[in-house]
Amino acid sequence: MTKTTTKSPFSLSRRQVLAAGAATALTMPFYARRGFAADTINVGVIQPLSGANAQFGINSRNGIQLVADEINAAGGIQSMGGAKINLIISDATSNPTQAATVAQRMMSQDGVCAVLGAFASSLTLAISEVTERRGVPLLTMSFSDQVTGRGFRNIFQVVSKASQLGSATITHTLDLARKAGDEITKIAIMYEDTAYGTSQAGGLRAAAEANGIEVVMDEAYPLGITDVSPLINQLRRTQAQAVFPVSYLNDSLLIIRNMRQQGINLPTIGGAAGYIIPDFRNGLGELADDVLSISPAAYDQAPEFTERFRERFGYFMVHEAQEHAACMGVLASALEKAGNADPRQLREVIAAETFDEGWATVMSGGKIKFDETGLNIHAVPMMVQWRGDELVTVAPAEYAKAEAVWHRL
């Protein structure tokens, strides 16, 4: 007979043994390495496929999938004997700790040669801490200034930094207004207090100051704000001549509708994200017409590529899909040039070469070359404007596909 009760704190019995057994059984899968055939190249794709950013994560995955499928259909990577790209896709959720774990898993278990991701800059930054220490290249379209600001060697950002986007927003707006005969001297900035909103607003602020423009309203608001009336009330009392909201979708709809409710018709220049996805138009209908926005890339710049996305997925190639496709394009070219999938050699090729073939050309600027911080020096922020269900590039002049519509102040 075993003693059933004991006062001892470390009372251990079959239950703990069972527990330990169960725990061991549960952890078993982590020891099992997944084998991979020699003729495939594993590429890690980490995106937020659930949670608040799920839509953007799914768009990004679609973009990467399209490119990988095209490459494989065309015979894979030639220099590696037609090796096929095998995407290892995983959900970063909205948790940076999870994102880093996923990256670690891909490098250890799947032997990925590079990682693509992860839309939200908080996820990308967390992943980069892991890939940097392992020497695996990380290609991203996250545009927070921190991404390339830490002196990391293995991170490559195909889009302009948030501060560059912010400053381009101001200069293009001033140009468009001037062309129409308006001189803007006072602006309003409102942004959600996320990494993306804060860093882009910083760029707007700096550019306004550099151009001698007065920022008459500069207001951060909490993510998921339920009522924008206080913001718009405040806007109504300022003398702002243009308003620059930086937000995801729900806030962007709220802001535009509330402005209409209050009879405010100021030119609105959005800060990418919520302002340049099909749901913006779906939600606002014709109120969306003529709304301007900055965009790190525009699908009308490379229709011969981006229309293939529309054919397959049924909506225009949103910018995050396009930029992630460019990341995949760069990686494919680098694999082709390196002739093997060793992460360290790939890193050297990515850092050294100029990429001007295939999907790498869909980025604004038409080609990609990274500077020593890993930033794409050819990236040019685009100003786009809603025309019906489509976005059209209206600035800079050499890339414009149509004249901007500017309602005189």
Partner 1 sequence: MEYLIILLQTLLDGIMIGGVYAVLAIGLSLVFGVMHIVNFAHAEFMMIGMFIGWACWHFLGLDPMLGAFIALAVTFGFGMVLQRVLIRPVLGAPQVAQIFLTVGMLFALENAALMIMGAEYRSVTTPYQTQSLTLFSHGAERVLVGMDKLYAFLMALLSGSAVWLFLNKTRFGAAMRATSQDPMAAKLMGVNTDLMYAVAFGLGVGTTAFGGSVVLPYITASPAVGSGYAVLMFTVVVLGGLGSVTGAIIGGIAVGIIQSFSALFMPIQLQNLALFVVFILVLALRPEGIVARRRS
Partner 2 sequence: MTRAETLSIALPALVVLALIIAPLGLDPYGYTLRILCLMLLFCAMGQAWNIVGGLANQISLGHAAYFGIGAYSSTILFGSFGLSPLIGVFVGMALAALFALVLSLPTLRLKGHYFALATLAAGEVARVVANSWTSLTGGPVGISVPYRPDAGFWALQFQTVLPNYYLFLGAMVLVSLVFWRVQTSAFGYRLRAIKENETAAEVIGVNTYRVKLHASLLSAVLTAMLGTLYAQFQFFFDPDTIFGVATISVKMALIVILGGAGRLYGPWIGAAVIIPLEEMANSYLGNSIAGLSQFAYGVLLIVVILLNPRGLISLFESLRDRLKRRQRA
- Contact set with partner 1 (CB under 8 A): 50-52, 54-55, 57-58, 193, 219-227, 229-231, 233-234, 249-250, 253-254, 257-258, 260-262, 279, 282-285, 287
Minimum Å gap between C-beta 376 and partner 1 is: 27
Nearer to partner 1 by C-beta: 110 or 251? 251
Minimum Å gap between C-beta 282 and partner 2 is: 20
Minimum Å gap between C-beta 90 and partner 1 is: 15
DSSP label at 112?
-
**Please, what is the angle between helix 303-313 and helix 319-338, to 10°?**
110
The span from the CA of 202 to the CA of 390, in Å, is 29
Structure tokens at 119: 């839309």
Nearer to partner 2 by C-beta: 14 or 408? 14
Contact between residue 168 and residue 160 where contact means Cβ atoms under 8 Å apart: yes
Minimum Å gap between C-beta 192 and partner 1 is: 9
The span from the CA of 243 to the CA of 269, in Å, is 6
| Positions that interact with partner 2 (CB under 8 A) | 2-4, 6, 8-20, 22-23, 26-27, 29-31, 49-51, 54, 57-58, 88-91, 93, 95-98, 100-102, 104-105, 107-109, 121-122, 125-126, 128-129, 132-134, 144-146, 150-152, 193-195, 197-199, 220, 222
Nearer to partner 1 by C-beta: 272 or 363? 272
The span from the CA of 302 to the CA of 314, in Å, is 17
User: What is each CA distance from 188 to 216, 218, 280, in whole angstroms?
Assistant: 6, 6, 21
Write the single-letter amino acid at 223.
Answer: L
The span from the CA of 95 to the CA of 176, in Å, is 40
224 binds, among partner 1, partner 2, none (CB under 5 to 8 A by kind): partner 1
Handedness of CA 290, 291, 294, 295 (dihedral sign): negative
Nearer to partner 2 by C-beta: 155 or 368? 155
The span from the CA of 286 to the CA of 301, in Å, is 24
Nearer to partner 2 by C-beta: 105 or 367? 105
